[in-house]
Amino acid sequence: MALELWFREDARHALLTVTLSTLQGAVANGTPNVSYVRGVLDSARGACVAFGVDFVGFVRDLRALLASRDVLGVLEAADAALLAPGGREVTRPQPLA
């Protein structure tokens, strides 16, 4: 099925569902490391670009849906790693505000 047949909101909801379940599944097996979460976010970012979904809004909605503080802490650490100059790795999750 060609990308143009998908509605952007349908694609956004599907991406949120897959990303959310991937992160929560990783926490169910123990707190995921920053590299794993960064990979999940990188994959989601690529899919967002492919479907024309705003990634900043996507991450904001993802944060609102996440129930686990473990996932949120690692997500914040992955955010910091993605935004750090030179792609430097963050070694531990940042505390939640």
Per-residue pLDDT of 76-88, as tens digits, reads 767 666 665 544 4
Nearest to 88 by CA among 72, 74, 77, 73: 77
The dihedral built from the CA positions of residue 49, 56, 10 and 23, taken in this order, carries a sign that is positive
Q: Count how many domains the chain has.
A: 1
In a domain, 8, yes or no: no
pLDDT given at position 14: 92
Domain containing 68: what range? 31-97
Kindly report, residue by residue over 58-77, the tens digit of the pLDDT.
988 888 887 666 667 777 76
In a domain, 14, yes or no: no
In a domain, 40, yes or no: yes
In a domain, 92, yes or no: yes
In a domain, 19, yes or no: no
Nearest to 33 by CA among 89, 87, 88, 85: 89
How many other C-beta atoms lie within 10 A of the C-beta of residue 71? 22
Kindly report, residue by residue over 20-40, the tens digit of the pLDDT.
888 888 777 776 777 888 888
User: Per DSSP, which regions of the chain are E strands?
Assistant: none
In a domain, 69, yes or no: yes
**pTM (2 decimals)?**
0.67
